[in-house]
């Protein structure tokens, strides 16, 4: 179990540091910056690389909503859900702390939103709470459908990380303007702790919506138990 939790920690750290790091350090500069497409690709690539690197050890969840969805679908042991969540959240906080330490090395840098998630005034496009709730539930549910399908026994072996990474890229392309894209409570928690905004006050939504979305399509993939095959 220790090895599995270490793999989840490292994978989640990489996801948050890579994806949020792209948003904080590279999205807006140096000119012209990588923009929304670059950030979306960074999140997708972080999942692809870590799913191949450590997915065979822990299942490559890197996300409390994924862990919950797989448990509800009988693809993961319920007794391991909380330990996985602790490892994921701890990793996200550690990654955000390292990213913050790097970012403050630039003279005059201010954290601002620090790649955090939000609605209303904290939404990149000014979207309200209902829109944020809906997009996070729907996209997390879709993400779980991709994960469950790509890791099923019927799917071609070895291609699951690519499908999952591309799905996460697509999700970010859709949701960045609405919520700055969560679909991952750990990712939201880590950066919210360092944001110079009201992100912590809105963090509840980015736990509730992804966890609800992660459990929606629970009947998919009930045929095999344990960690998904990546």
- How does pLDDT run across 64-80, given as a tens digit for each residue? 999 999 999 999 999 99
Q: Is residue 222 part of a domain?
A: no
Provide the pLDDT for residue 156: 76
Q: Is residue 169 part of a domain?
A: yes
Residue 121 structural domain: 2-216
CB 117 within 8 A of CB 192: yes
Q: How many CA atoms lie within 13 A of 193 on its CB side?
A: 16
Distance CA 129, CA 144 (A): 23
Q: Is residue 147 part of a domain?
A: yes
- The closest alpha carbon to 183, from 199, 205, 201, 202, belongs to 205
Provide the pLDDT for residue 219: 52
Provide the pLDDT for residue 223: 44
Residue 149, token pair as written in the block: 């399908």
Here the CATH number for the domain that contains residue 32 is 1.20.1080.10
Distance CA 16, CA 80 (A): 22
Measured between alpha carbons, how far is residue 176 from residues 2, 13, 61, 62 in Å? Answer: 34, 20, 21, 19
Total count of domains within the chain: 1
Provide the pLDDT for residue 224: 43
Q: Is residue 104 part of a domain?
A: yes
- The enclosing H or E element of 193 equals none
CB 34 within 8 A of CB 25: no
Provide the pLDDT for residue 33: 76
- The closest alpha carbon to 65, from 225, 194, 208, belongs to 208
Sites in the chain below the pLDDT cut of 70? 28-32, 217-230
Alpha helices per DSSP H over 59-197:
64-72, 81-103, 129-150, 160-179, 185-192
Q: Is residue 204 part of a domain?
A: yes
Provide the pLDDT for residue 52: 94
Q: Is residue 12 part of a domain?
A: yes
Q: Is residue 229 part of a domain?
A: no
Q: Is residue 197 part of a domain?
A: yes
Provide the pLDDT for residue 84: 98
């Amino acid at each position: 179990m220790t090895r599995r939790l270490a793999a989840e920690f490292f994978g989640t750290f990489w996801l948050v540091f890579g994806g949020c790091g792209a948003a904080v350090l590279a999205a807006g500069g140096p000119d012209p910056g990588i923009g929304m497409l670059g950030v979306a690709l960074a999140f997708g690539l972080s999942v692809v690389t870590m799913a191949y690197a450590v997915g065979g050890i822990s299942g490559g969840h890197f996300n409390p909503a994924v862990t919950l969805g797989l448990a509800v679908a009988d693809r993961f042991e319920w007794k391991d859900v909380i330990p996985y969540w602790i490892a994921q959240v701890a990793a996200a906080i550690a990654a955000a702390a390292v990213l913050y330490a790097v970012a403050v090395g630039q003279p005059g840098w201010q954290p601002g939103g620090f790649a955090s998630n939000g609605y209303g005034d904290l939404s990149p496009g000014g979207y309200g709470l209902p829109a944020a709730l809906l997009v996070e539930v729907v996209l997390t549910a879709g993400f779980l459908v991709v994960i469950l399908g790509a890791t099923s026994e019927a799917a071609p072996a070895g291609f699951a990380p690519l499908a999952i990474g591309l799905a996460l890229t697509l999700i970010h392309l859709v949701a960045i303007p609405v919520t700055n894209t969560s679909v991952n409570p750990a990712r939201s928690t880590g950066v919210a702790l360092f944001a110079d905004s009201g992100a912590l006050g809105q963090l509840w939504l980015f736990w509730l919506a992804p966890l609800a979305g992660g459990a929606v399509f629970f009947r998919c993939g009930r045929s095999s138990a344990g960690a998904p095959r990546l």
